Structure 1
Amino acid sequence: MGMDLFPLANPRRVALEALASVLTPPPPIDLPAWAEHNIEFGSESPFPGPFSLDRFPFFRRILEVLSPDHPAPFVVLRKSAQIGGTVLAQTAIAAVLELVPCHMLYVHPNAGNAKKWLRRKFRPMVKGTRLNAAMRPEGARVGHSSMAWERIDEAGSLQCAAAESPNDLSMASYPYQVQDDISKWPQDNGAGDPLTQADSRTSSFLKFGGKIFRASTPLVSPGCRITDAWKEGTRESYHVACPHCAGLQPLTWENMVAATTDGADPHFTCLHCGCTMEERHLPLMIDPKRGARWVAENPAAASYCVSFDLWAAYTAIKGWRDLWRAWERAKGDPRAEQVFYNDWLGLPFLVVGAAPEWEALRDRAEETGLQRGVIPPRHPILTQGVDCQEDRTEVQVTAWGPQFRRYVVDYVVIDSPITDAEGQRRLTEQLNRAYHDVWGNPRATDMMAVDANAYTNDVHAWHRKLKSGRVILVRGRGGDNVPPLERVKWERSAAGKVVKSSRRWYNVGVSGLKASLYAALRKADPLDLGYVGFAKGLGDALFEGLTAEVRKEVRRNGVIAWQWILPPGKRNEALDTANYCYAAAFKMGVFVRSDPAWEELIAERDIEAVQGQADLFGGAADAAPMAKPTARTLTKHTRSLADRLA
Structure 2
Amino acid sequence: MTTLAAELRSRFRSMPNGRHVVAAALARAARPEQELTVSEWADCFRVVSAESGSRFPGPWLTSRVPLAREIMDCLHPDHPARLVVNMGSAQIVKTEVIVNWFGYIVDRAPGPMLVVLPSLDEAVKFNRVKLQPTIDASPQIRHRVKPENSRDEAASTTSFKRFAGGFAQIVTASSSKGLQGISIRYLAMDEISEYPIDVDGRGSPIAQAQARQKSWGDLAKTYVSSTPGLLGDCRITELYEAGDQRRAYLPCPECGSFAPLDYERMQPPSESTNQRVTFACPDCGSLIDQVHRADMLARGRWIATRVAERDPPVPGVIKPADLAQWECAPCEGRCRDWHPSYSWWSGYSNFESWSDIWSRGEDARGNPIKLKVFSQQDLGRPYDPSADAPDWQKLLEARAEWLRGTVPWPACLLTGFIDVQGDRLEWGIWAWGAECQGWLIDCGVIPHPAETDEAWQEVDALLAASWPTANGVTLPVSAWGIDTGYVSPLIYQRALGRHNLRVCRGAAGVRARDALPCNVKNVPLNNHLGTKLRARAVRLHFIGTFALKSTVYQGLRQLAAGPDADGRFGRGTLHLPGWIGEDYAKQLTAEILYDPKAQAKGKARRALLERPGDQREWRKMPGRANEALDIAVGSRALAWLMKVDGWTPAQWAERAADAWGSEPPAEDLFSAPAPAAPTRPSKPLVPLAPTPVRGRRVLSRGIGDRYD
- Name the TM tier (shorter chain): 0.7 to 0.9
Given candidates 327, 334, 341, the residue that maps to 1:307 is 341
* Number of the residue aligned with 1:475: 506
* Number of the residue aligned with 1:591: 645
For residue 434 of structure 1, report the CA deviation from its aligned partner: 0.9
Whether contact under 8 Å (1:241, 1:292) holds in the other structure is yes
Given candidates 189, 195, 199, the residue that maps to 1:185 is 195
Indicate yes or no: 2:295 matched with 1:284.
Answer: yes
Whether contact under 8 Å (1:187, 1:561) holds in the other structure is no
Indicate yes or no: 2:556 matched with 1:521.
Answer: yes
For residue 306 of structure 1, report the CA deviation from its aligned partner: 0.9
Indicate yes or no: 2:551 matched with 1:509.
Answer: no
1: CA distance, partners of 2:182 / 2:147 = 20
Indicate yes or no: 2:169 matched with 1:158.
Answer: yes
AA partner of residue 293 (structure 1): R
Indicate yes or no: 2:608 matched with 1:577.
Answer: no
* Number of the residue aligned with 1:434: 466
How has the CA–CA distance of structure 1 residues 450 and 142 changed in structure 2, closer, same or farther, with 3 Å as cutoff? Answer: farther
* Number of the residue aligned with 1:394: 426
2: CA distance, partners of 1:610 / 1:23 = 88
SS in 2 for 1:466: coil
1: CA distance, partners of 2:204 / 2:696 = 53
Whether contact under 8 Å (2:522, 2:539) holds in the other structure is no
Whether contact under 8 Å (1:170, 1:201) holds in the other structure is no
Indicate yes or no: 2:478 matched with 1:446.
Answer: yes
2: CA distance, partners of 1:328 / 1:611 = 28
Deviations 1:410-444 (A, max 9, x none): 22333455566655554344233212223332112
How has the CA–CA distance of structure 1 residues 83 and 558 changed in structure 2, closer, same or farther, with 3 Å as cutoff? Answer: closer
SS in 2 for 1:335: helix
Given candidates 251, 260, 283, the residue that maps to 1:241 is 251
1: CA distance, partners of 2:208 / 2:72 = 22
SS in 2 for 1:197: helix
Report the more deviating stretch, 147-156 or 77-86: 147-156
AA partner of residue 640 (structure 2): F
SS in 2 for 1:286: helix
Deviations 1:66-89 (A, max 9, x none): 223221111111111222212222
Given candidates 374, 380, 384, the residue that maps to 2:406 is 374
AA partner of residue 411 (structure 2): H
SS in 2 for 1:305: coil
For residue 193 of structure 1, report the CA deviation from its aligned partner: 5.3
1: CA distance, partners of 2:184 / 2:524 = 39
* Number of the residue aligned with 2:42: 35
Identity %: 25
Whether contact under 8 Å (1:75, 1:305) holds in the other structure is yes
Matches within 5 A, 1:341-356: 341-356=375-390
For residue 269 of structure 1, report the CA deviation from its aligned partner: 2.5
For residue 569 of structure 1, report the CA deviation from its aligned partner: 4.5
2: CA distance, partners of 1:38 / 1:510 = 47
For residue 256 of structure 1, report the CA deviation from its aligned partner: 0.6
* Number of the residue aligned with 2:592: 550
Whether contact under 8 Å (1:405, 1:531) holds in the other structure is yes
* Number of the residue aligned with 2:278: 267
SS in 2 for 1:516: helix
Whether contact under 8 Å (1:266, 1:324) holds in the other structure is yes
SS in 1 for 2:340: strand
For residue 312 of structure 1, report the CA deviation from its aligned partner: 0.9
2: CA distance, partners of 1:352 / 1:149 = 43
Between the two proteins, the alignment pairs up a number of residues equal to 602
Given candidates 614, 617, 631, the residue that maps to 1:560 is 614
AA partner of residue 210 (structure 1): A
How has the CA–CA distance of structure 1 residues 187 and 395 changed in structure 2, closer, same or farther, with 3 Å as cutoff? Answer: farther
2: CA distance, partners of 1:611 / 1:449 = 30
1: CA distance, partners of 2:538 / 2:189 = 35
Whether contact under 8 Å (1:449, 1:474) holds in the other structure is no
Deviations 1:527-552 (A, max 9, x none): 33132211243455543332222222
2: CA distance, partners of 1:97 / 1:455 = 61
How has the CA–CA distance of structure 1 residues 38 and 415 changed in structure 2, closer, same or farther, with 3 Å as cutoff? Answer: same
SS in 2 for 1:71: coil
Whether contact under 8 Å (1:192, 1:558) holds in the other structure is no
Q: Tell me, which stretches of 5 or more residues in structure 2 are unaligned?
A: 1-28, 307-327, 329-333, 597-608, 678-686, 698-708
For residue 372 of structure 1, report the CA deviation from its aligned partner: 2.9
SS in 2 for 1:285: helix
Report the more deviating stretch, 112-121 or 516-525: 112-121
* Number of the residue aligned with 1:230: 240
AA partner of residue 45 (structure 1): S
* Number of the residue aligned with 1:218: 228
* Number of the residue aligned with 1:74: 83
Matches within 5 A, 1:22-171: 28=35, 30-36=37-43, 37-42=45-50, 44-130=53-139, 131=141, 134-135=145-146, 148-151=159-162, 155-162=166-173, 164-171=174-181
CA RMSD, 1 decimal: 4.0
Report the more deviating stretch, 403-412 or 454-463: 454-463
For residue 212 of structure 1, report the CA deviation from its aligned partner: 1.9
Deviations 1:353-381 (A, max 9, x none): 2313434434543xx24233222211222
How has the CA–CA distance of structure 1 residues 626 and 266 changed in structure 2, closer, same or farther, with 3 Å as cutoff? Answer: farther
SS in 2 for 1:70: coil
Deviations 1:581-636 (A, max 9, x none): 221122222222222222222233234889988985579x97953768649xxxxx
Whether contact under 8 Å (2:249, 2:259) holds in the other structure is yes
AA partner of residue 194 (structure 1): S
Task: Using structure 2 for the length normalisation, give the TM-score.
Answer: 0.74
2: CA distance, partners of 1:454 / 1:105 = 47
Indicate yes or no: 2:445 matched with 1:413.
Answer: yes
For residue 576 of structure 1, report the CA deviation from its aligned partner: 2.4
* Number of the residue aligned with 1:625: 691
Deviations 1:176-221 (A, max 9, x none): 2222222233344563752652454245267422122221112332
* Number of the residue aligned with 1:634: none
How has the CA–CA distance of structure 1 residues 168 and 245 changed in structure 2, closer, same or farther, with 3 Å as cutoff? Answer: same
Deviations 1:27-47 (A, max 9, x none): 545321332322313162223
How has the CA–CA distance of structure 1 residues 330 and 140 changed in structure 2, closer, same or farther, with 3 Å as cutoff? Answer: farther
* Number of the residue aligned with 2:218: 208
How has the CA–CA distance of structure 1 residues 258 and 436 changed in structure 2, closer, same or farther, with 3 Å as cutoff? Answer: same
Whether contact under 8 Å (1:138, 1:149) holds in the other structure is no
For residue 567 of structure 1, report the CA deviation from its aligned partner: 4.0
Task: Using structure 1 for the length normalisation, give the TM-score.
Answer: 0.80
Report the more deviating stretch, 559-568 or 451-460: 451-460
Whether contact under 8 Å (2:505, 2:540) holds in the other structure is yes
2: CA distance, partners of 1:221 / 1:89 = 26
Deviations 1:120-144 (A, max 9, x none): 4333333323555524669875799
How has the CA–CA distance of structure 1 residues 152 and 352 changed in structure 2, closer, same or farther, with 3 Å as cutoff? Answer: closer
